Structure 1
Amino acid sequence: MMKGRGAQNKTHNRFESLLYEMRDDFLEYCRLEGEPADANKTQYQTIFPKSIVNRVTSPDVGMEFSLNPYQGCEHGCVYCYARNTHEYWGYGAGLDFERVILVKKNAPELLAKKLQSRHWKPKTIVLSGNTDCYQPAEQKFGLTRACLEVFAKHRHPVAIITKNALVLRDLDLLQELAQRNLVRVIISVTSLDETTRRILEPRTVSSQKRLKTLQTLSEHHIPAFTMLAPIIPGINSHEIMDLARATAAHGAQGCGFTLVRLNGAIGSIFTDWLHTRLPDKAEKVLSLIKQCRGGKLNASTFGDRMKGHGPMAVQIHRMMALAKTKYFQDKKLPDLETGHYLRNRGNQLSFFD
């Protein structure tokens, strides 16, 4: 068992002709000689993309633009739909996604250039949307904070999706943005059961820390939302009401959810994880997921891929509707402002702002 990781093995990149394979005789040699077969260390690779703000064309994602300072994510959430994107960089969706983190060191400069462009019209840009902008790499590189400084400088709206309490490091910038209604923070909470959380999301902070993060954001008047995601039938679907109650009690002003998506290579990664980590539940969980996906592990149709269909999916939808009515009925997040936007901050014209 690979400790501290979600995926339990390297997976083949569908775009590569060469196949990585750990031979049994090599593993046996390592066992007998007392040598590790795999160092299991995280590697950071610096890359310099030409652009950093991505237009999101998928109609069921709920954002128009995203920005990801890092590619790959050390949090190791086994269900992560973004794992497949690592294949486009020549890596695998399994352990590579968790252990080879691509660092976009020029992200703040590219963002500043975008916001200063005369063609840009202010729209909320979401950090992250793909991989967590406050994953462990952020402690080392600080790219998310640098990007927030750019947003604050240009008074531009930004939303943040994370499951890491490191977001509280940037309270000063978040408060500055919140004063003009330019920011909201979405905290993802998957389970209140620490045993479940540790095996699903091995390198994330505890659920209690996430609740405390929501509370701290609320106390500092920073609008916070929570995503109960993903809902996995047979693993955390029974926690919906408890999750909604706890997040609302700690200051969340709204909640949303998605059903687990096992697209691309994630289907085999998740299946392998289930049989390794939860062997007694594996077949039941897979069966319940298929009941939400027309007999398959995944459905790619827009809308349906996020929410599912069938009796099990209907039950989850009804439970979520009840949770929202009971715990979030009188809560509402305002739309972020775009009228404060200053295109020319940073040059001599800013003296006249």
Structure 2
Amino acid sequence: MEPTNESPISGRGAQSASVPTRFGLAERAVDGDWRDHMEALDGPPTKLRTFVTEEKPRTILSFNQSPDIFFDRSINAYRGCEHGCVYCFARPTHAYHDLSPGLDFETRLFAKPNAAELLRATLAKPKYKPKPIAIGTNTDPYQPIERQYRITRQLLEVCLDARHPVTITTKSDRVIDDLDLIADMAKRRLVAVAISVTSLDPKLSGKLEPRAASPAKRLSALQKLVEAGVPTHCSVAPVIPAITDEFMEEIVQRASAIGVESVGWIPLRLPHEVAPLFREWLSVHYPERGDKVMSIVRSIRAGKDNDPNFFTRLKPTGVWADLFRARFRVACKRAGMSKAKFELDCTQFRPPAVGGQLRLL
């Protein structure tokens, strides 16, 4: 892979802002009209700022019928994610709005301040049937702007009031800000939390996930959750061949040492625009091994950059995939760990009061 002559963009994961053509959009060299106009007036920025747009959707629960995932409904309080993980499979969703899956995805964010209100109304519907709600399956519910908006906390408050089970997936230690609610829910078997740990090298993490919590902070958050009695899962994800796979065994060992109950791994996925963005990231940060990384990625995806098909997209094949599985299996055996299935309780559900009404019971 040929090295690029450009310097890395400080504090951001994506190294460009190319707009995709999947939806017939015109390509442009810079990241959106807003940035074109800004640079015309002020010159190129020395540091990319984050902009947040508040939106008011009409619904908040998303339902799916995918055979590859364990949940059938989810909530995403935000669109876009300031963590800036270059490998994020959610990046292509920004293209639907004529925004770049590159820098726009991590600098042009959308927040849903009425999310809790919508959830309360949904749970109060007479025909609603409870099943665990997955929070944080697309963009991180505890990304930096959560400290300002507190939308995730509001959602948890609604779920606790309704005795509705949830699962939380994050790579931020900011989840501890809501430990009071989460611990209360855990006592009622209403919550399980997964934190992904990609590597144990803070410098590498700073390149891959520039605005996410450091590996040490994520492990510390896992430990605090364990100590509070919260069912916890450590996700070694994504496993990037020749970049992060070297940390697989030690992550499992450290998770076990702090009492984490469950561990699993997820291979790198590169859907749509994520593949060229990741290739570009490799050319900037690891030009000497970029070709090797992509060769292994294609080898576990039947010769392609990505496999989008049900049943196989999360199950890589080939020699390298078998090697990763074997290594992970041995690591778990040595650490006495497995991938546990947390059984959350839906029987306690009670429709929440709406419209200012008081709960009778």
Instruction: Report the TM-score range of the alignment, normalised by the length of the smaller protein.
Output: over 0.9
Does the residue aligned with 1:81 lie in a helix, a strand or coil? coil
Which digits, 9 at most, give the CA deviation of each residue in 1:234-292, with x for residues without a partner? 11112211111111212221011111011100010000000001111111111111111
Query: After TM superposition, where is structure 1 displaced by more than 6 Å over at least 4 residues in a row?
Result: none
- 1:10 maps to a residue whose letter is A
Unaligned runs of 5+ in 2: 1-7
- 1:3 maps to a residue whose letter is S
Partner of 2:128: 120
Distance in 2 (CA, whole Å) between partners of 1:309 and 1:97 is 30
Does the residue aligned with 1:257 lie in a helix, a strand or coil? strand
Contact 2:197 2:236 in 1 (8 A): yes
Q: Is the counterpart of residue 167 in structure 1 residue 183 in structure 2?
A: no
Please tell me the root mean square deviation across aligned C-alpha atoms, in Å.
2.0
Distance in 2 (CA, whole Å) between partners of 1:35 and 1:350 is 57
Distance 1:38 1:95, change over 3 A: farther
Q: Is the counterpart of residue 7 in structure 1 residue 14 in structure 2?
A: yes
- 1:76 maps to a residue whose letter is G
Contact 1:253 1:333 in 2 (8 A): no
Does the residue aligned with 1:304 lie in a helix, a strand or coil? coil
Partner of 1:85: 93
Distance in 1 (CA, whole Å) between partners of 2:134 and 2:336 is 23
Give the drift of 1:342: 0.7
Judge which range, 6-15 or 206-215, deviates more: 6-15
Distance in 1 (CA, whole Å) between partners of 2:251 and 2:277 is 26
- 2:100 maps to a residue whose letter is G
Does the residue aligned with 2:314 lie in a helix, a strand or coil? helix
Give the drift of 1:331: 7.9
Does the residue aligned with 1:144 lie in a helix, a strand or coil? helix
Does the residue aligned with 1:228 lie in a helix, a strand or coil? strand
Distance 1:279 1:240, change over 3 A: same
Partner of 1:109: 117
Partner of 1:65: 73
Judge which range, 35-44 or 205-214, deviates more: 35-44
The partner residue of 1:220 within 214, 224, 228 is 228
Contact 1:153 1:345 in 2 (8 A): no
Distance in 2 (CA, whole Å) between partners of 1:328 and 1:161 is 23
- 1:80 maps to a residue whose letter is C
Contact 1:82 1:131 in 2 (8 A): yes
The partner residue of 2:105 within 86, 97, 103 is 97
Contact 2:53 2:109 in 1 (8 A): yes
Give the drift of 1:22: 4.3
Give the drift of 1:136: 0.5
Q: TM (normalized to structure 1)?
A: 0.93
Unaligned runs of 5+ in 1: none
Identity of aligned residues (%): 37
How is 1:138-149 mapped onto 2 (pairs within 5 angstroms)?
Answer: 138-149=146-157
Distance in 1 (CA, whole Å) between partners of 2:252 and 2:239 is 12
Partner of 1:308: 316
Does the residue aligned with 1:199 lie in a helix, a strand or coil? helix
